[in-house]
Structure 1
Amino acid sequence: MAVLSERALISLIREASAFSAPGLIQGIGDDCAVFGSPEAGQWLITTDTLVEQVHFDRDWHPPELLGRKSIAVNLSDIAAMGGRPRFVLLSLCLPPALASDWLQCWLSGVSAILAEYGCVLIGGDTVRGRELVISVTVIGEAACNHILYRTGARPGDTVYVSGPLGSAAAGLALFQRAKKEGKSFEQWPKWQALLDAHLNPAAQVELGQQLALSGCVTSMQDISDGLATDLAHICHESGTGSVLYAERLPSLPSLDSAAIFLVQEKLDLLLKGGEDYQLLFTVPPDREKELERQLLSSPHHQIYPVGTIVEGQGVLLEKNDGTRSDITFQGYEH
């Protein structure tokens, strides 16, 4: 029997699910489901599951930082739709040999990030099993008529990202290299920013809300599976295509030397590396100056134009020599 890809599995589930229900505004197909009403308010809900040796490795991931990351990846989904996280549900599958000290440190990380973002843990579930599995659900709220979906991109829009790409993927590869060679995980201070990007990503909740309220953004999601794949999601849901420009993709300065050391193409890390959790969004050209003006009055750092929405379908990469290639869905696959 053929193994379904993640996209095929989601499509299968989507086709088998109800398309409407009272109060449901957005179901399967975006970073969050949306429900509610203009009178009662609109709510966002998202869930993610992290499995040991699939999504994390305790050999190098400190428990407190893993606790933070377990929550941050869900907060990023709320940020991607312009919402504010409010409540958290937490379910754990705990192996019998898991030390209580490790769990206490992990919970310390969870508590710290919940406090930083003003969230409250309201329930969950626990079970014993062979592998450590962490499942988190976050419920958020959003201003009515200011939720950003994947469906709004239009030909001519400029594609933006909110920060450097490829960092987390490079950090992961460095940890994997060190483990394979039996070396210390603390041997590369010059690449610490890349290691930190993998261990402790930030959810850009404040920026997401600013973009949603700006009136300038037509679509948005976060970059969890890589730029090429996540832009393809926006294009698929919006019924458009896109072109990315290789020379415009932002990165940390240390990515160049890390890519050489890892014997990986820097461009592959930029396009296909997952877990950057930058915001990916589209803006009509006649609204770009207004958005830049609004962001100048905030503490947020620079945003980066990296491509254009076009007629058609899929994602094309234009290299410095002008040649183009199809990179649709060339990112992380669960």
Structure 2
Amino acid sequence: MTSTAWNRLSLNAAEGSLITAIRECMVRSPRQLNNAFEADAELLDLGAGGLLALTVDTLNDGAELATATTPYAKGWLTTTVSVSDLAAVAADPVAVLVSCSLRRDRWTLEDAREFGRGASEAAERYGCHVVGGDTNWANEESFTSCALGTLRRGSVLSRLGARPGDALYVTGPVGAGNAVGFRTLALGGTAAGDPWLPEARVAAGDPLRRYARACIDTSDGLLSAAVSLAELNGLGVEVVLHDEVYAPIASAVAEAARLPRWCSAAAEWGEFELLYAIDPADAERCSRAMSERGLQPAHVGQFVAGPELLLIDESGQRRDLRNLLPRMRALDPAGSLLADLRALLTDGS
């Protein structure tokens, strides 16, 4: 990684500069296959031991947990955020470690049981187990997971490899994460019924290994993911979002708030689908294989040789992502989110 890597639109500048400073003082492992930001998980060649994928993610109290409003949902999400990174490199999950920092005045033993049940049932859903971790009392709540998986030689998938003219596909409906987070913080709470439980798309592994050229998960939103793939590959991208690509809850929340649906693809509560680049000649075969595994792949754009980073929304309007995404990220989730978002839209973004 170069010292200027964080200047990409896909990275928060302050966060990127910190990552750069930390990594500049570290010795790179000779076993590591990827450079910084080039894959959702870190990829290690263990020689005769095979290929290993590993990743770690932390969820902090506040906006990051706005989509998980029960202890069970927090446990499920804690496992899912890291296993989703394994899914994006087409790894087979093996194990998850979970670390919890909990507030003594808020957590009961029953809450702890529900958290553990959520974390464990998510891992089982993905074909692995939570095997241990760490728990502490703290002033602020946070949850960290580390996921480990194995890779097959000859089929390593990263964020690199997209080419001009490649089609851009997503493994399922988009916008649910942003809709749930927005509903919680801007519309005054959650709907009755079961909590939202996003799913890491481990089931996409075989088709991705066979057909995809590059892949990233949408944990930070679809538009940010598309820009990341484009910038890492030195390409432009045109994201085309029709009404049918959105999750039902995204459409319902957009209607209730009188907002365009594309907003649910532009903020950073992602839905943990996988966004992948593919040769258009392989797209139909890959989609059939995805559908056979219960997924709902959708064509959402294409990569281009030029520098443009564009969204073509459900109304057909073209929006410059270089202007739109920084302004979306500047919105304060803890502030007057609905009013600020409407002001941004009125201003012409």
Which residue in the other structure is 1:312 paired with?
A: 306
Deviations 1:82-112 (A, max 9, x none): 0111122222222222222211211111122
Which residue in the other structure is 2:253 paired with?
A: 258
**2:178/2:250 contact within 8 Å kept:** no
Which residue in the other structure is 2:6 paired with?
A: none
Q: 1:313 to 1:38 in 2, by over 3 A?
A: farther
Deviations 1:185-209 (A, max 9, x none): 445xxxx7xx84xx311111011x1
Q: Which amino acid aligns with 1:226?
A: G
Give RMSD over aligned pairs.
2.7
Q: 1:31 to 1:7 in 2, by over 3 A?
A: same
Structure 1 gaps, min length 5: none
Measure, in 1, the Cα distance between the counterparts of 2:141 and 2:56.
17
Measure, in 1, the Cα distance between the counterparts of 2:310 and 2:26.
32
**2:32/2:44 contact within 8 Å kept:** yes
Structure 1 stretch displaced more, 48-57 or 67-76: 48-57
Q: 1:179 to 1:106 in 2, by over 3 A?
A: same
Measure, in 2, the Cα distance between the counterparts of 1:294 and 1:178.
38
Structure 2 residue 93 is matched with structure 1 residue 88? no
TM-score by length of 2: 0.81
Which among 201, 206, 210 is matched to residue 204 of structure 1? 201
Measure, in 2, the Cα distance between the counterparts of 1:244 and 1:177.
26
Q: Which amino acid aligns with 2:209?
A: L
Task: Give matches, 1:12-27, under 5 Å.
Answer: 12-18=21-27, 20-27=28-35
Which residue in the other structure is 1:291 paired with?
A: 286
- How far 1:124 moved relative to its partner? 2.5
- How far 1:256 moved relative to its partner? 3.2
Q: 1:240 to 1:106 in 2, by over 3 A?
A: same
Which residue in the other structure is 1:213 paired with?
A: 209
Q: Which amino acid aligns with 1:114?
A: A
Structure 2 gaps, min length 5: 1-11, 334-349
* SS of equivalent to 1:289: helix
Which residue in the other structure is 1:35 paired with?
A: 44
- How far 1:332 moved relative to its partner? 5.4
Structure 2 residue 70 is matched with structure 1 residue 73? no
Q: Which amino acid aligns with 1:305?
A: H
Task: Give matches, 1:1-334, under 5 Å.
Answer: 4-18=13-27, 20-29=28-37, 30-37=39-46, 39-56=48-65, 61-97=69-105, 98-177=107-186, 179=188, 185-186=190-191, 196=195, 199-207=196-204, 209-214=205-210, 216-247=211-242, 250-295=245-290, 298-313=292-307, 315-319=309-313, 324-328=318-322, 330=325
- How far 1:293 moved relative to its partner? 4.5
**2:212/2:277 contact within 8 Å kept:** yes
Q: Which amino acid aligns with 1:265?
A: P
Q: Which amino acid aligns with 2:99?
A: S
* SS of equivalent to 1:159: strand
* SS of equivalent to 2:65: coil
Measure, in 2, the Cα distance between the counterparts of 1:13 and 1:34.
19
Q: Which amino acid aligns with 1:83?
A: A
Deviations 1:106-145 (A, max 9, x none): 1111122222323233333232210111111111111112
Give the count of matched residue pairs. Answer: 315
Q: Which amino acid aligns with 1:204?
A: R
